[in-house]
Each structure stands twice: as structure tokens, then as C-alpha cells.
Amino acid sequence: MLLTAALLLCACQAQQLTSDTFSVGMISVKTNYLNPLWALERDFQSLHSLMYESLIRLNDQYEPEAYVASDWRYGDDCKSWTFVLRDDVYFSDGTQLTAYDVAATVNEILRLAKDENAENHGVYASLRYVVSSASANDAKTVIITAARPYYGVIYAMNFPILKASEVQFEYPIGSGPYRADSFSPANYLYLSYNPYWWGEEPHVKNINAFFSATNRDLTADYEYNRVDAIVTRSVTTAQYRGGVTSVNMDYRTRQLETLLINLNSYELEDVNVRWAIRYALDPDSLSNNAYYGMTSRTDTPFPRGTWMYYDPSDDNGEDYFTYNLAKANRLLEEAGWVDTNEDGIRDMMRDGKRVNLSLRLWVYEEAENSVRVETANEIRDQLAKAGIEVRVYLVSFALAKERLQAGNFDLCLAAFQMDSVPDPGFLLYGPNTGNYGRYRNSEMNNAINDLRKCTNQYSYQQALRRIQTIFAQDCPFICLYYRGGAVLTRYLFTNVRDIREPDMLKGIETIGVN
């Protein structure tokens, strides 16, 4: 297969897109409707982002910037937000987008999120935690009432805006640069240029998306020139890196990979043991070996290179996150774990019995790849060098979740889909549902409470720094990396520097515009 791919790709050189039609392939087997509020597949959302627009969007520094909203302001308490809309935004049927459409969209998102009978509460359901309602003063002015005074509200304003009369439609129209012409679930979606779009007319007039059921089929579509590009999280795309015939554009997903730690396990109560595990792990090696580098390394719940990320090592001289096996061994000895019988596993006396430092690591697998199992096995091998025995158990996602909820684990390789609002409280706050490790720290709870009272970016950033400092000191779990994906393409179709989910096709509407 590799040889075949190489031969096929040699016939083409990566170049600037010249045709007005661009074809892209991706996995899609669940999406039956185009309503973006009901999104089921993350790759498909890259198509939604071409058809629908939001009040704000996040720039390369992950800071909010004007989009459909030309301006916004908020009161001193950050409880009431006023957004003023652009004058020139129209839906693809030629009707103007108004504040009434925005308010209707917000209220539909909230209704869906709170509907106990709904099978799908919507991909934007977390909006309910930061917004209580929306209304329109007039056609241009939207009033967002926050659930609490909270600067984080602005980051939640990147939901797709639908026409008020179509918020519950299966195929609502949008105001983005492209509109849907024809859709066959699990087969194709044809998009064409929206002539009412407020931006400059793009060079690419048509985008044809073709859907595959498996990564093998998706890769074959690319190899045999059936599509110009593919969007995928499959690590098999790494085979094309460094080639001269294709462009491999990495993107960051919102999926944060972690090694969860059960603080109720007696072996892990001591912070020195948790620190030792962190120092004994080499996440770069995990990424390179299992994911072929298709990750974005991070040591806290926030992406590196953004205004949110903070490494307290920079200020207090304590290097919290660098791989250091010697330091791991020293910390374990200080915690009382030694290898008395020289069998390679540390032990100690507990309640009159000698016990080994032996931990259960649960891992659930993903369809069509074994990267998570490979990662778990390498974690086992890395910790063995520090005298920590790890027993890997492969279970279903449902069973892993059941074990996490019951607290029946020592370690678990688990992923979390992070929200656009930079708030890690669901992972770290007292009894929250995502706090599977049973971490309890009143200082951390206070820091999160303070974060949720911040009314400007500076105070918000300072609160995030405090949270990350406590996180580094307590080591309630270990952040490994954000999962990555790739847009593999024969043509350069974007100049966006920071490509991230769900905007993997962002910029295609501006390439070739004079």
C-alpha cells in the first residue's frame, strides 16, 4: 500500500489551488441532517463552519475577535452582554441576519440542552452553564444574559447562527461563504458559493465533500485521486509527512489525553508518588511512538502557545514537567517505596504486610486503531524503569466509564473533549462529575470559584495561572497531549497558521481573492 501510494502521488506536485472546485473526503456514517446544533461527528463540523457563522471567532492566539458581531460590550458585573451585529450579513436566501435570529438560536440551544427527553442535547449544550437567556432589543442588538458574572461568556459565543424560523429544521440555511446544494447522508455533500455572503467572492466556488465509512476507504480515495484532500485523525497519514507531492497540515483537536490517577488508592495518596509517575513518563516518546507525532504536547489542561497556558516552573524554579527518571526514583524512595528483594518492583510494609507498588491501568480502545493500547503498554514499560509495576486492562468504553464512576481503578488512560470556554472546573472542582480521581482541595475550589467571577481577560488569565500552579503542585492527574489530526492535500488552500478543530477548512474562502 505504501509503495502504491508513493507511485500515485509522484504524478502530482503540491501547489496553489487553481480550480474553482475543491473536493475533500472525510469519515461520516452518523450524520443524517445538516442542522449544526445536532452535530454528531467532529470532522463533519468542518463543513458546518463553511455554511454557518457565529457572533465571534477565536484567532490564532485563542482570543475573541469580531465576526457577525461587529462590536460588543458588557456591564461592570459581566452579567449582561450587548452584541451589535454587522449591517451586511445575509442568509443564503437573501434575507438579512438579525438579532432575532441570534436570540432564537441561543434559546433553542438552551432548550435542547435542558430537554430531558432529547436523545441528543446538542454539541453546544455546555452553553447552559454560562448563559441563561438571549433577547433582541432591535434587529441589530442582541442582549445575552449570563448565568453568572463571568468573562468566560465571550468564548461561548462561537455557536452557529440559524434563521429564527429554522432553528429546528433538519436542513436550515446559514450565512457562511457556502451553501448546501445537495446532501446524501454517508455519501456526499455538495456546497456552492453563497452569493449573499458579506465577504469577498472566493476563488473556490464549489466544495464537494465525499464520505467514507473507514479510514482505509478514505485513504484509498486520496491515493487514487478521487478527492483533492482528506480530513482525518488516523495516524496512517503520517506516512505522507515529508513528501514533496502532498501537503500534510496538522490540526489540533479538542481531545485532551490524560492519565487519570485515583487519589483514593493508597499507593497514590502521597503526592510524591504522583510526582514520581509524572517524572517517570516521557510524553514525547508516547506521542512519537504511538501517534507518530500527531499530538500537541501540553502539561496542563490548556494548549501550549495560547494566552491561557502557564507553566509555574518558569517562575518558582521547580521543574514540574520535564522527564527525569532519577528524580522519580528519589521521590519514590522518600515516599518509602524501595525494592527490598531486587525483583524490579518497589515495595513497602503496610499494616504488617509487604505490598508491591503495583497499579491497575484501565484503557479503552478506539475503533480501527490500537494507538491507545500501544500508549498504555508504553506507559507500563516507562514506569517499570522506576520500579512501578503496571497491569494493563483493555476494556470497552462503557466498562471504563463504569469503573471510573465507581472509583474502581488506579490509573486510567482517558480523553476529555474540552470546551471552547477555558474553564477546567469539571475536571478539578470538588465533587464534579469529570473529577474521577476524587481530587479534593479547597484551594483549588476557591481558585475555580474566583475564575468564574472574573470580569476581564487579565483577571481571568491570572486566575488560570493560579489554577495551573495548584495543578502542578498537587498532580491530581497527568496531562499528556491534545490529539491531533491532519488535512492531507495536494493543493495549498489556506494560509491559516493555527488550524484547529472544528475549522479544519478555514481559509479556503479567502485563497485566490484579489
SS3 429: coil
Tell me which residue has cell 457562511.
Answer: 176
CATH class of 1-6+16-32+176-246+490-514: alpha beta
Tell me how far the alpha carbon of residue 53 is from its chain's centroid: 19
Give the pLDDT score at 442.
96
CATH of domain 253-484: 3.10.105.10
Q: Could you give the CA distance from residue 79 to residue 404 in angstroms, rounded to a whole number?
A: 36
53-172, superfamily in CATH? Dipeptide-binding Protein; Domain 1 (3.90.76.10)
Cell representation of residue 300? 496542563
Give the per-residue pLDDT at 276: 98
Domain extents in the chain:
1-6+16-32+176-246+490-514, 53-172, 253-484
| pLDDT value for 160 | 98
User: Side chain identity at 428, as an amino acid letter?
Assistant: L
Residues 6+ apart with CB under 8 A from 261: 268, 274, 277, 410, 411, 437, 475, 476, 477, 478
Supply 386's cell numbers.
522506576
**What is the C-alpha to C-alpha distance for residues 50 and 468, in angstroms, rounded to an integer?**
35
Q: What is the pLDDT of residue 427?
A: 96
One digit per residue, the tens of pLDDT, for the chain of length 514 reads: 333 333 333 334 457 777 899 999 999 999 999 999 999 999 999 999 999 999 999 988 888 999 999 999 987 777 899 999 999 999 999 999 999 999 999 999 999 999 988 888 999 999 999 999 999 999 999 999 999 888 999 999 999 999 999 999 999 999 999 999 999 999 999 999 999 999 999 999 999 999 999 989 999 999 999 999 999 988 877 666 656 667 888 999 999 999 999 999 999 999 999 999 999 999 999 999 988 889 999 999 999 989 999 999 867 778 899 999 999 999 999 999 999 999 999 999 999 999 999 999 999 977 666 888 999 999 999 999 999 999 999 999 999 999 999 999 999 999 999 999 999 999 999 888 899 999 999 999 999 999 999 988 899 999 999 999 999 999 999 999 999 999 999 988 887 878 899 999 998 988 765 4
DSSP codes of every residue in 40-70 = --TTTHHHHHHH---SEEE-TTS-EEESSEE
Q: Are 277 and 328 in contact (CB under 8 A)?
A: yes
Q: So what's the pLDDT on residue 244?
A: 62
